[in-house]
Structure 1
Amino acid sequence: MSDVYPSVEELPVLSRLALSYAPKVAREKTLGLLALDARLAGIVRSASEPMLAQLRLAWWRDQFAKPISDWPEGEPLLATLKAWREQARALGGLVDGWEHLAGEGPLPANDFSALASARGDAFGALAILLGADDAREECKVAGREWALADLLSRVSAPEETVALRELAGKAAFGPIRLPRAMRPLALLHGLARKAMDSGRSLDDLPPSALLKALRIGLVGR
């Protein structure tokens, strides 16, 4: 892609796989969301102190509070997110969600729940942006459930694993049919369901799960 876009290689492997099934008209906007989520996760993961992560997250929050015309030039990810137009303000909620993970661990269940909900809300905003308004609530649920499975693959502290498993246990993780514009989310949610059903991490799914991903990417279920 053009160098005005963030690199797809910066995305986690499963996000890259999901993005490859985005319809052409949805690709740029979906890339923006997945890349922002990965960037914010990297800020939280790499910060040596919570305050440093909070300062860097605050910069992103400030941008999304401004009109797009006031965004600084030279940041490829912001350039991509201009395509979000009036929904760009919703991305501030995703920043807030990731800030819940910037504290000292072990983190309580409420922090993980807040981030999972924020990621779900961001996918709901993407649905509106892509003209899939009728599927907004389903996208929020699918995004939240994928987020819980994804977070389970990231944490290592026993207390955090227990907290996340309790949250995931309260979620339905049932089949959700999404419109074609949201095919990447359908793929991510399908893999999350597979991970929860098998008791495995998203990073430790068997080859059969990848076949499931290919099927979801092609037919949506």
Structure 2
Amino acid sequence: MTSIDPGRALALSYAPPATRAGLEALFALDDRLATIVRSTREPMVGQMRLTWWHEALTRLQTAPVPQEPVLQSIKSLVLTAGVSGSSLAAMTDGWEILLQAEIDTATLEAFAIDRGGRLFEVAARMLGIDDRRIGLAGEGWALVDLARGLTDTILAGHARTLATTRFDAAFRGRWPRAARSLGALALLARFENVAALSQSPGPTRRIARLMLHRLAGY
């Protein structure tokens, strides 16, 4: 049974009710791709599995959907929101980067864009929002998630520094109301990033910051 991330559940509860199930399906797809990479010991095997997902997602609009729960949900909840199968298939690119290369600065940058940026931009499209800051927030979110699993502390620190730059840019100005669920996800990652780099704000300040974002968009 897949555990539910309480932080993500809280953040997605900020989304308009009609979009929540679709966003949950989208992030479940990202979870599945993450599991492939994190559980793969042989890069070639991982690439083959990601290729299967890439092809299955690309064909969603033109062929019967495989009996796979994540794909079934994507077909019924995400494609109906105006997202193409090919744009979802591109989400495999960020994860494949981790199988193809040693992780260095260039890898971090590419992963941030191809995983987090793409994911949040697709989510924004589902919400009817076009705002470059949302992609930047997604890049920061992905970098924090990657840093969490890196054993190289120097590289992890660099990932967190890159995330800080993106969060600083993403949270300039007010966010659109419909996108504040994504902003809350990024804020939770930002809290973790601050805790790793310096000193974390206490629980009360975190809750207050999330509420401010939900209500006012800052």
State the alpha-carbon separation in 2 of the partners of residues 65 and 94 from structure 1.
11
State the alpha-carbon separation in 1 of the partners of residues 127 and 151 from structure 2.
36
1:167 is aligned to 162
1:21 is aligned to 14
Task: Report if the CA contact (8 A) 1:11-1:34 is conserved.
Answer: no
Amino acid of the structure 2 residue aligned with 1:110: A
- Say which SS state the counterpart of residue 90 (structure 2) adopts: helix
The number of residue pairs the alignment matches comes to 209
2:89 is aligned to 92
Q: TM-score, normalised by structure 2?
A: 0.81
Alignment of 1:22-171 (within 5 A): 22-82=15-75, 83-85=77-79, 86-87=82-83, 88-103=85-100, 105=102, 107-118=103-114, 119-133=116-130, 135=131, 137-168=132-163, 170-171=165-166
- Say which SS state the counterpart of residue 15 (structure 2) adopts: coil
State the alpha-carbon separation in 2 of the partners of residues 47 and 130 from structure 1.
33
- Say which SS state the counterpart of residue 166 (structure 2) adopts: coil
Task: Report if the CA contact (8 A) 1:54-1:99 is conserved.
Answer: yes
Task: Report if the CA contact (8 A) 1:184-1:217 is conserved.
Answer: no
Change (3 A) 1:16 1:200: farther
Deviations 1:26-66 (A, max 9, x none): 11221122111111111111112111211111111011222
2:5 is aligned to 12
State the alpha-carbon separation in 1 of the partners of residues 51 and 209 from structure 2.
35
**Structure 1 residue 159: deviation in Å?**
4.5
Amino acid of the structure 2 residue aligned with 1:111: T
**Structure 1 residue 10: deviation in Å?**
4.1
In structure 1, the gaps of 5 or more residues are 1-6
CA RMSD of aligned residues (A): 2.7
Deviates more, 1:170-179 or 1:24-33: 170-179
**Structure 1 residue 74: deviation in Å?**
2.0
Task: Report if the CA contact (8 A) 2:137-2:166 is conserved.
Answer: no
Amino acid of the structure 2 residue aligned with 1:207: P
Change (3 A) 1:103 1:216: farther
- Say which SS state the counterpart of residue 135 (structure 2) adopts: helix
Among 177, 180, 194, which residue is 1:180 paired with? 177
1:199 is aligned to 196
**Structure 1 residue 23: deviation in Å?**
1.9
State the alpha-carbon separation in 2 of the partners of residues 72 and 24 from structure 1.
26
Amino acid of the structure 2 residue aligned with 1:173: D
